[in-house]
Structure 1
Amino acid sequence: MTLTIQHIRHATSLITIQGKTILLDPMLSDTGELPPIPFTRHVRRNPTVPLSVPLETFKHIDAILVTHLHVDHFDKTAKKILNKKMPVLCQPEDQQRILSWGFENVFPIEQFKHWEGIDFTRIRGQHAKGNISKLLGPVSGFILNTPDDGSLYIVGDCVLTDQIKQVFEQHKPRICIVNAPNAQLLFGSVITMIPEDIGTILKTSPSTKVVAVHMDAIRHCTSSRKDLLQYIEQQQLLDSVVIPEDGEYIYF
């Protein structure tokens, strides 16, 4: 069985695993339909690029997986158009808000959940360092594992912490999706991974294939695909890192 990732835009992907299609972190608004990100120096609206697929695409999914509820990971269009009976898997802190949006089947993952032949393990994350982390609220990553497909680690909007390094040391995931746009708030607070973190991850787990996303769609993300490509070329990591374009399929 083939594991497939279709990168839609920003942090949004369609993951097909164990024959099920899971929508990850749905930001489905058209260009300019979302406000500027608070506490950044950018005053123009988001996203900066259109959705790469028609909205009808999201009628053909089996579940939704949400790392956290910032507007660029679960937006107003997603709340409006997604089937309210669709299973939603999330961190426990987000269950009540998602229920309040009318979704009926919301499954919080405290540590572990088995769903439709897929094992989900939640990894606690940290959206920034210091007090900024409290401002931004909780965020999680998830490891999806099946006997046929191996492990896929969705890291989420996390800075690279010692705990996440330990996850790579212990699990050595076959594939990981990393948000590495060097997103910044005012005063230079970095709130995601940066290109150099991918190098650290691959030193820790050289067999992992990295899918790098979260670039070229929201204004406070300061590293572009071009920037990341330049870094991985310099570090000779081209065989280990994929930087998908919006709408692109990746087959494993």
Structure 2
Amino acid sequence: MLLTAATVCTTTTQAEHRTERDRSNVTHVQEIRNATVKISYADTTFLVDPMFAPKGFYEGFTDTYRSFLRNPLVDLPMQPSAILEGVDAVIITHTHLDHWDGVAQDMISKTMPIFVQNQQDQKVILSQGFKDVRILEQTEFQGVTLTKTNGQHGTDEMYQNPKIKMVLGEAMGVVFEAKGHETIYLAGDTIWRPEVDETIEKFNPDVIILNTGNALIDGFKASIIMGKEDTYRATQKAPDAKIVAVHMDAINHMSLTRKQLATYVKAQGIQEKVLIPLDGETLSF
């Protein structure tokens, strides 16, 4: 891991297997690759935004930064079967390719419970053969309360353009809550918006997972997700929370690397609050 906060969490390697007792008492957040995150929480394991394609499987996203590069830019750190081990449910924040790809669709059981943001995404995923697709608002699943949160996948200026608005679409975040466990806020593909402030104020999360790759599309200087300044802002908005930065180094339009974010975090003096896991790395809280 590039940055650690030893006083608040520990890390493990993929080879270190947790016991059932560990699983009950410790929260594990594993960065798989890009926005794909595996969260083991209160005896339940969620897989968020699975993208399983091998390196270079897809063309770069058109009309975006470095579209000449093929996606993903790096391979998975482990086999999809290992990623899926122990998974109880999948959460898809939105159906963009880098959050829900065809390889993942082929690998995941068609009876797996899947949580989505709205009827449109539910219809899409049902059409792909999945049988248990649930629209998330606020629900309890195996002892974990899941709450949908809102945001916006780009700036107001971008959403004034009908074509760009259609491409960007909607994306949700999720708050995870369980008695005796840290509250986790996974913001999803959003820029910093009033909805983000409101979620932090309402839920007072202990762990905040941010997509911080500063993804760029042609014709705009602003990002369609968060970046380094948003990472700093999160530490100020939630000074007692651990900030986990993901969604970097794997897709062509990401303009912020882990290394650059680590340099920025150190310069701001917030390195004890921000965690930047490598692909395959697990943070334990």
The TM-score by the shorter chain falls in which range?
over 0.9
Pick the aligned partner of 2:130 from 90, 97, 103.
Answer: 103
Rounded to whole Å, the distance in 2 between the matches of 1:175 and 1:112 is 19
In the other structure, the counterpart of 2:197 is 165
- Give the aligned CA root-mean-square deviation in angstroms: 1.2
Rg comparison, structure with higher value:
2
* Structure 1, 7-16 or 132-141: larger mean CA deviation: 132-141
Pick the aligned partner of 1:81 from 80, 90, 107.
Answer: 107
Q: Cα deviations across residues 81-135 of structure 1 (Å, max 9, x unaligned)?
A: 11110000110131110111111001101x2111110001111120001253423
Rounded to whole Å, the distance in 2 between the matches of 1:59 and 1:163 is 34
In the other structure, the counterpart of 1:211 is 244
Superposed displacement of residue 40, structure 1: 1.1
SS in 2 for 1:39: coil
**Higher relative strand content:** 1
1:67-216 superposed matches below 5 A: 67-92=93-118, 93-109=120-136, 111-133=137-159, 134-135=165-166, 136-188=168-220, 189-216=222-249
Tell me which amino acid in the other structure corresponds to 1:114.
E
SS in 1 for 2:175: strand
Tell me which amino acid in the other structure corresponds to 1:176.
I
In the other structure, the counterpart of 2:77 is 52
Q: Could you tell me the percent identity over the aligned residues?
A: 33
TM-score by length of 2: 0.85
In the other structure, the counterpart of 1:235 is 268
Rounded to whole Å, the distance in 1 between the matches of 2:62 and 2:97 is 10
In the other structure, the counterpart of 2:36 is 12
Q: Cα deviations across residues 62-83 of structure 1 (Å, max 9, x unaligned)?
A: 1101111000000010111111
Do 2:44 and 2:144's aligned partners in 1 also have CA atoms closer than 8 Å?
no
Rounded to whole Å, the distance in 2 between the matches of 1:77 and 1:31 is 12
SS in 2 for 1:196: helix
Q: Which runs of 5+ in 2 are unaligned?
A: 1-24, 160-164
Superposed displacement of residue 150, structure 1: 2.5
In the other structure, the counterpart of 2:19 is none
Pick the aligned partner of 2:57 from 30, 33, 45.
Answer: 33
Rounded to whole Å, the distance in 2 between the matches of 1:166 and 1:234 is 28
SS in 2 for 1:8: strand
Higher relative contact order (CA 8 A, sep 6+): 2
Tell me which amino acid in the other structure corresponds to 1:10.
N
Do 1:59 and 1:83's aligned partners in 2 also have CA atoms closer than 8 Å?
no
Rounded to whole Å, the distance in 2 between the matches of 1:116 and 1:59 is 17
In the other structure, the counterpart of 2:259 is 226
Do 1:160 and 1:197's aligned partners in 2 also have CA atoms closer than 8 Å?
yes
Rounded to whole Å, the distance in 2 between the matches of 1:214 and 1:144 is 19
In the other structure, the counterpart of 2:45 is 21
Do 1:31 and 1:46's aligned partners in 2 also have CA atoms closer than 8 Å?
yes
TM-score by length of 1: 0.96
Do 1:168 and 1:201's aligned partners in 2 also have CA atoms closer than 8 Å?
no
Rounded to whole Å, the distance in 2 between the matches of 1:132 and 1:100 is 29
* Structure 1, 203-212 or 53-62: larger mean CA deviation: 53-62
Rounded to whole Å, the distance in 2 between the matches of 1:45 and 1:115 is 37
SS in 1 for 2:187: strand
Q: Cα deviations across residues 182-240 of structure 1 (Å, max 9, x unaligned)?
A: 10000134100011011111111101111100011011100000110011101111111
